[in-house]
Amino acid sequence: MHKSLLIDPAKCTSCLQCEMACSYEHTGAFNPARSRIKIYEFEHGRYAIPFTCTQCAEAWCLHACPVEAITINAETGAKDVHADLCVGCKVCTIACPFGAVNYDKQTKTVVKCDLCGGDPKCAEACPTDAITYVDEDWTGYDRMQYYAERTHLPSFSG
């Protein structure tokens, strides 16, 4: 059984500890701009929502990659980007319907959550348990929809 990140926006305080832990784990520097998880704030910080790759079962990013630089990690189920194969074409960034694959200007490759090889530092660093690492049956699009509806964010449809 694989595990996934479960995000509860109601518990997020926008402390950015997850972003700091992620960037340090992957780049060796505390630089939230290079984190693979992002905190989005709404209504001037009234709502804070952590967001990262959901490790989609369909994985459009994986199927879109022309050089097969994204593969499924057999141990974690994460869709891993192999930087040594990535040519930086950014097709996967367009294919991802959630905008969770990003281009890193420093490495000239794409980056996305890899679940830290099965020990996600964002979940470890979260002081409020807004981010936890649970059996994947507890996560997914339906769960995201549930939490989106529960937060009662204002409509952005003009």
Structure tokens at 80: 């891993």
Per-residue pLDDT of the chain (158 residues; tens, 9 = 90+): 789 999 999 999 999 999 999 999 999 999 999 999 999 998 887 889 999 999 998 999 999 999 999 999 999 999 999 999 999 999 999 999 999 999 999 999 999 999 999 999 999 999 999 999 998 765 555 666 666 677 655 554 54
| Measured distance CA(109)–CA(88) in Å, rounded | 4
Query: Mind spelling out the 3-state secondary structure of 35-68?
Result: CCCEEEEECCCCEEEEECCCCCCCCHHHHHCCCC
| Percent of residues, the chain, with pLDDT higher than 70 | 87
59-99 tens-digit pLDDT: 999 999 999 999 999 999 999 999 999 999 999 999 999 99
Domain ranges of the chain: 1-52+117-158, 55-112
The amino acid occupying position 77 is G
Structure tokens at 114: 């890899």
CATH class of 55-112: alpha beta
Domains 1-52+117-158 and 55-112 share a fold: yes
| Measured distance CA(140)–CA(7) in Å, rounded | 10
Cβ 7 vs Cβ 131: under 8 Å: yes
Residue range 1-52+117-158, CATH number: 3.30.70.20
From the list 138, 131, 113, the residue with the least C-alpha distance to 13 is: 131
Total H helices, total E strands in the chain? 5, 8
What is the pTM (predicted TM-score) of this model? 0.83
